[in-house]
Amino acid sequence: MKPADVGIAVMVAVIWGLAFVASRIALDEFSPELMTTLRFAIAALPCLFLRKPDVSWPLLIAISSTLFLGQFLAQAFAIAHGVPVGLSSVVVQSQALFTIGFAAVIFGEMPTRMQATGVAIAAIGLLMICGTVGYDFSVGSFAILMICPISFAIGNLLLRRAHGVPMFDLFAWLCLSAAIPLALLTLISNGPQPTWQALTHMSLTGFICVVCLGGISTSIAYWLWGRLLRDYPAAQVVPFALLVPFVGSAASSIVFGEKFGPLRLAGMITVVGGIAVMLLSKRPKILPKVA
């Protein structure tokens, strides 16, 4: 990767790490559905000035439903139901495992031996984390959280099919495609009156959090991430998410005083270590196409 693109990948990872803290603060005022709706409604504002990119509606909806709606709604529900922010940042970024695995099956991008080793190490770390479930949050909450990396990985690969379109335009319309069903879900699950009450009594802190989540973490960061995925193989880009757990966990410890038990901490370090091994590996081999 070019040095400038490496810098962009690092910046995106830092933004996403801090976004976990912003999400937790916003969830003190908003329901998971409403917070996620506001996030994508703000990020979709550029659609007022941008034409829909030359991408079919089925593909647009498929990418939006996985990369955005599925990932972030599950993340919001998990954090709202007690999953610690630092732990969430680690588990969500295990999407690197799923992305490389799905890329191998679908595109023939076979991982190198080092990448396979990294996948195995990170998988062991996830199993260690699973051993801590049930103490301070439920198995159901953790199961919901695991939807995030899987949705993230599928969205990463679906994004490849959006060839030759402006990334900023695409991501604005992806946000709009997520915001509309989320708004309907919010009105149905929360009710119109509670939703209006939450909006009209929004604090300055809540407002700043959702603006940062929508405008910076979603609109700008995902646009940059999409450009990287368009220009480089998935196995080269996604390991930069290694930084997200460090930023998220450190920020959570400072802001919320989050602490981790020995087994959970060991599991988190093992997951991050596995992703680090992937980051140090070479490009994957591409299987020859069979005529």
Q: Residues 197-242: pLDDT tens digits?
A: 999 999 999 999 999 999 999 888 878 887 887 788 766 776 777 7
Lowest mean pLDDT among 25-34, 61-70, 187-196, 256-265: 256-265
Which are the contacts of 22, defined by CB distance < 8 A and separation ≥ 6?
209, 212, 213, 217
pLDDT bracket for residue 287 (50, 70, 90): very low
Mean pLDDT in residue range 124-149:
80
> Does residue 136 have a pLDDT over 90?
no
Average pLDDT of the chain, as a whole number: 84
Over residues 237-286, the pLDDT tens digits come to: 767 777 788 888 888 888 888 777 788 788 888 888 887 787 666 554 44
Q: pTM for this structure?
A: 0.81
At 124, the amino acid letter reads: I
For residue 288, the model assigns a pLDDT of: 41
CA distances for 136 relative to 131, 139, 142, 260, angstroms: 12, 10, 11, 11
- Closest by CA to 90, choosing from 277, 261, 270, 213, is 270
- The rounded distance, in Å, linking the Cα atoms of 226 and 164 is 12
Closest CA to 234 of 113, 95, 55, 63: 95
Torsion sign (Cα): 160, 247, 72, 45 = negative
Residue 290 — pLDDT band, cuts 50, 70, 90?
very low
Kindly compute the dihedral angle of the four CA atoms of residues 25, 215, 86, 111, in this order, to the nearest 10 degrees: 160
- For range 72-101, the mean pLDDT: 85
Given a contact cutoff of 8 angstroms between Cβ atoms, the answer to whether 273 and 125 are in contact is: yes
Q: Residue 269 has what pLDDT?
A: 85
Residue with tokens 């998971």: 32
Q: Phi, psi (5° rounding) for residue 79? A: -65, -40
Read off the pLDDT of residues 14-58 as tens digits, 9 standing for 90 and up: 998 899 999 999 999 999 999 999 999 999 999 998 899 888 899
